[in-house]
Structure 1
Amino acid sequence: MIIDLRSDTVTKPTKAMLEAMMQAKVGDDVFREDETVNQLEQRVANMFGKSTALFFPSGTMANQTAIKLHTQPGEQVICDKYAHIYNYESGGAALNSGVSCKLVDGTRGMFTAEQVKEAINPTDYWYAKTTMVEVENTTNKGGGACWDFEELKKIKKVCANNNLGFHLDGARLWNALVAKQETTQQYGALFDTISVCLSKGLGCPVGSVLVGDEQIMKNALRIRKVFGGNMRQIGYLAAAGLYALDNHVEKLAEDHNKAKEIGAVLSKLSIIKKVEPIETNIVIFELNNDVDENNFVKKLAQKNIHIISMGSHKLRIVTHLDYTNDMHEKVLQALKNV
């Protein structure tokens, strides 16, 4: 039994999801004739109270499209120093949109409205024009942390007062909604654009959706084409998304509970320096300075338990749909004995 806890992207479609995919009614999406993807896009748009949604092959492409919708070359985006759009999208903001990022020194990937105010550039012509604020919920490098919704509302006011676009990288938003008992409608009312992932957490093989109102989204389809993201009979993938929305969202609570139980075991080990607070399905912990992190990872791998190193003695464990109760018991026991 191989237990892969490197990421929640390692899941494979369930048998029921595969059956739903095989029964999908499909067409040519370039002609906008795939009825299943049209159904998915309409459903996600309605969930967030937006008029328009567009299916993407990846969350990175959805985020990159959002940046391009909100900005012009030479402008600047405010985001956290841990932000996925800055750290893990291959410099796409600079390459695709010609924008720079003003990095905010937040806490676990989250910042305040006051920090946004301070990060907005003066209007003098020798500064890059600030035109967009981006937040990530949950925060990946922040250990699956969930934003305080009241702070997000304060940031929205700053954006409104300064004519700034407001984008949410909601790659793991489903986790935040379950953990904080918040709603898609709440987020849709707050953000101009939102990208949500159907693969992380929900167990689909591929796919993200970008939502927004008609005005901001009017060029999204063209930009997706420019990025090479037009697809044909993608209803098979959209069907997986529809199935996941019906059957997998509530199961995220199980992933969160397992992550917290792993954290509880780790916190009792003498070789562990610190376990970051656990709110959702990501566990980030730090080994003592005298412990070899590569050796730690290797010892678990010898027991067919695979986790990921983040460098600087930090390691990450991510629970997910394919992580069963039997696997969980084996992991807890292995960690106790490591």
Structure 2
Amino acid sequence: MAIDLRSDTVTRPTDEMRRAMAAAQVGDDVYGEDMTINELEEKGAALMGKEAGLFVTSGTMGNLLSVLTVCQRGDEIIMEEQMHMFWYEVAGIAALAGVQIRTLPGIRGVVSVVALQAAIRSEDIHYPQTRMFCMENTHNRAGGTVMTREQMQDLSSAAKQAGLWVHTDGARIFNAAVFLGAEPRELAACTDSLTFCLSKGLAAPVGSLLVGPRDFILRARKYRKMLGGGMRQAGVLAAPGLIALDSMRLRLAEDHRNARKLAEGLARLGAEVDMDTVQTNIIRFQVPMAAGDFLRRLAARGVLANATGPDSIRFVTHYEVSQEDVDQVLAACGEILA
């Protein structure tokens, strides 16, 4: 079987998760009667120190719901220019919410407070209303880099002083917490609402949670129904999410160690790696050849990965990648880069 470093979304549910799916208590979630989903939403909200949670099919849905719930058509939201919400969510914020995104440059996914303050619209008949500020932690396109609690709090405070809602795409927020040695709720305290993913490094087969104030989640639940996300006996999907939150998040440091080992090995082999960005489970590096050629030769040696540019590659570690797999990947890369 290939060693798959394309993403941590490729993880398959564990045997324990499969058993939990078979045994899950279920009901009609549109009526609020699925006991397993209710438990997952309550547990996720409590972990993040929020009043309520909502089980959604994906982080993309959760992020869109946050915008639909807070904003009016014609509003503007502000975010860093490399955020997942801007690059990889099919312009749903524009197409479905009717909301304009204003992007700002950042350093490793973090904008400056000064830039944020300058971007907030003043009252003018010609301008849209600035309604929301968004952050991403960890930051995918920056290489899995982490925003500190202080950075999050400084930006959040500036946004709130201007009356903005603060939303965080926390797809990999547990990775950020592990890197910082913090509790997830400490980071979530810096944001009004937050999405986090169950099906990336936590290995559940599907789903994310949107958490926030109770009245916000009640409104978001109605928009979820509008988007076709009203699920029925979906406790079979929530059951592995409970295991993800109970145990899988506790082993993420292993993925970080494997990513660091990979990055250090790649640097020794001559790949260009910014080691300061290798903080969690993502490694972005450049090779002295076309990315497509590198990937084809890598696949021929039983390793799958993705390109992020003409000569740049991304590896992502996860629970199905062992230390022995890391050694095999480095051996394959060594043959290609020799």
Taking structure 2 as the reference length, what is the TM-score of the superposition? 0.96
Amino acid at match of 1:324: S
C-alpha deviations, 1:220-240, integer Å up to 9, x for none? 111001111011111111110
1:274·1:287 contact (CA, 8 Å) conserved in 2? Answer: no
Aligned to 2:120: 120
Aligned to 2:177: 177
Using the alignment, how far apart are the partners of 1:213 and 1:133 within structure 2? 17
Structure 1 gaps of 5+ residues are: none
C-alpha deviations, 1:281-323, integer Å up to 9, x for none? 00001123xx222111111100110110112311100001111
Return the match for 1:295 from 283, 293, 296. 293
1:71·1:99 contact (CA, 8 Å) conserved in 2? Answer: yes
Aligned to 1:247: 247
C-alpha deviations, 1:63-116, integer Å up to 9, x for none? 000011121111111011111111100000101111111101001222122221
1:195·1:210 contact (CA, 8 Å) conserved in 2? Answer: yes
Aligned to 2:327: 329
Amino acid at match of 1:326: E
Pairing 1:310–2:305 present? no
Amino acid at match of 1:241: G
2:255·2:281 contact (CA, 8 Å) conserved in 1? Answer: yes
Matches within 5 A, 1:211-230: 211-230=211-230
Q: What's the % identity of the aligned pairs?
A: 38
**What is the alpha-carbon root mean square deviation over aligned residues?**
1.2
Amino acid at match of 2:294: F
Aligned to 2:10: 10
Using the alignment, how far apart are the partners of 2:45 and 2:262 within structure 1? 36
Q: 1:127: how far off?
A: 1.1
1:275·1:286 contact (CA, 8 Å) conserved in 2? Answer: no
Matches within 5 A, 1:145-294: 145-270=145-270, 272-275=271-274, 277-288=277-288, 291-294=289-292
Matches within 5 A, 1:59-98: 59-98=59-98
Q: Secondary structure at the match of 1:9?
A: helix
Using the alignment, how far apart are the partners of 2:204 and 2:198 within structure 1? 6
Using the alignment, how far apart are the partners of 1:145 and 1:84 within structure 2? 13
Pairing 1:134–2:129 present? no
Using the alignment, how far apart are the partners of 1:163 and 1:129 within structure 2? 11
Q: Secondary structure at the match of 1:86?
A: helix
C-alpha deviations, 1:119-154, integer Å up to 9, x for none? 112221211111100001100101000002111111
Aligned to 2:37: 37
Q: 1:48: how far off?
A: 1.6
Structure 2 gaps of 5+ residues are: none
Amino acid at match of 1:69: T
Matches within 5 A, 1:47-62: 47-62=47-62
1:283·1:316 contact (CA, 8 Å) conserved in 2? Answer: yes
2:148·2:180 contact (CA, 8 Å) conserved in 1? Answer: no
1:265·1:335 contact (CA, 8 Å) conserved in 2? Answer: no
Using the alignment, how far apart are the partners of 1:79 and 1:120 within structure 2? 11
Amino acid at match of 1:298: R
Q: Secondary structure at the match of 1:187?
A: helix
Using the alignment, how far apart are the partners of 1:16 and 1:245 within structure 2? 13
2:263·2:273 contact (CA, 8 Å) conserved in 1? Answer: no
1:266·1:275 contact (CA, 8 Å) conserved in 2? Answer: no
Aligned residues: 335
Taking structure 1 as the reference length, what is the TM-score of the superposition? 0.96
Q: Secondary structure at the match of 2:40?
A: helix
Q: Secondary structure at the match of 1:268?
A: helix
1:40·1:242 contact (CA, 8 Å) conserved in 2? Answer: yes
Which stretches of structure 1, 4 residues or longer, exceed 4 Å deviation after superposition?
none
